[in-house]
Amino acid sequence: MLGKKLVTAQKRGETRALCLGLGMVVCSMMMYFFIGITIVPFYTRSVWTTETVCKVLKVSIKDQAPCPNSDGSEDEDVFPYPCLQVQVNLTASGQEVMLYATEDTLERNPKCSYVPEKSEKEVKAKIDKIASNFKNHQNVPCYYNPGGTQTNVIHSRLYPPKGLLFVFLWPTLMFTGGCLIIFLVKISQYVSVLSAWQ
């Protein structure tokens, strides 16, 4: 009687462990899919792939320029803010170009080097702080397009290679853990059947 209860409990535990392992594998596959359709396209579309050093030439702030989106759409996210413009010397080519915060900044507003979010508080103070940082540091790291299709540069990439690897780390760990659980359950079942047969 006790043996039957133990076998039943063991089978229930194995079933739950298998469900957990399969659930982890399915969830990791879904995470891979969502990363593949959301983050990876942004990474592959970015042409600013080579890192270099840019020398800051000119930092200016235009007073409360409306700075609409590049497509001219008038939505709720468009609001007036000081327009920061940073001109740098690209050491790789020696030409004077505009520096943007990220790839997204250029798409949102090609006139300004930094585009704040509407939810940010004290936007003017933050832009003044960013401008003073550029004035204090004459040489800043930047990314440029070696192919020459984009003449401007960006200060930091939204999805650098290290960041992309970090994004793929969690689903990979979940997939590995799920496969390991399934493997251990199958090994346990095989050993149980082998011992019962002997």
- Tens-place pLDDT, residues 45-78: 778 888 888 898 888 888 665 555 444 444 445 5
Whether 36 is in a domain gets the answer yes
Q: Domain span at residue 131?
A: 50-65+78-158
Segment 177-189 shows an average pLDDT of: 90
**Does residue 28 or residue 104 have the better pLDDT?**
28
The verdict on 35 and 117 lying in the same domain is no
| CB under 8 A, 24+ apart: contacts of 189-197 | 189/14, 192/10
Tokens of 118: 């509407």
Which amino acid would we find at residue 8?
T
The verdict on 107 and 189 lying in the same domain is no
Segment 99-123 shows an average pLDDT of: 82
**Does residue 170 or residue 193 have the better pLDDT?**
170
Segment 159-177 shows an average pLDDT of: 87
How far is 135 from 106, CA to CA, in rounded Å? 21
How much of the chain exceeds pLDDT 70, in percent?
Answer: 82
Segment 120-129 shows an average pLDDT of: 80
**Does residue 52 or residue 24 have the better pLDDT?**
24
Q: Picking from 7-21, 120-134, 135-149, 169-183, which range would have the lowest pLDDT averaged per residue? A: 7-21
Are 185 and 25 spatial neighbours (Cβ–Cβ below 8 Å)?
Answer: no
Tokens of 104: 């997204």
How much of the chain exceeds pLDDT 90, in percent?
Answer: 15
The verdict on 38 and 100 lying in the same domain is no
**Does residue 17 or residue 64 have the better pLDDT?**
17
The verdict on 150 and 185 lying in the same domain is no
Give the pLDDT score at 32: 93
Whether 122 is in a domain gets the answer yes
Q: What is the mean pLDDT of the chain?
A: 80
The verdict on 56 and 132 lying in the same domain is yes
Q: How many domains is the chain built from?
A: 2
Which amino acid would we find at residue 58?
K
Q: Pairing state of beta strands 153-154 and 96-100?
A: parallel
The verdict on 135 and 93 lying in the same domain is yes
Whether 15 is in a domain gets the answer no
Whether 2 is in a domain gets the answer no
Could you give the residue ranges of the DSSP H alpha helices within 66-160?
103-108, 123-136
User: What dihedral do alpha carbons 124, 126, 128, 130 form, nearest 10°?
Assistant: -150
The verdict on 55 and 151 lying in the same domain is yes
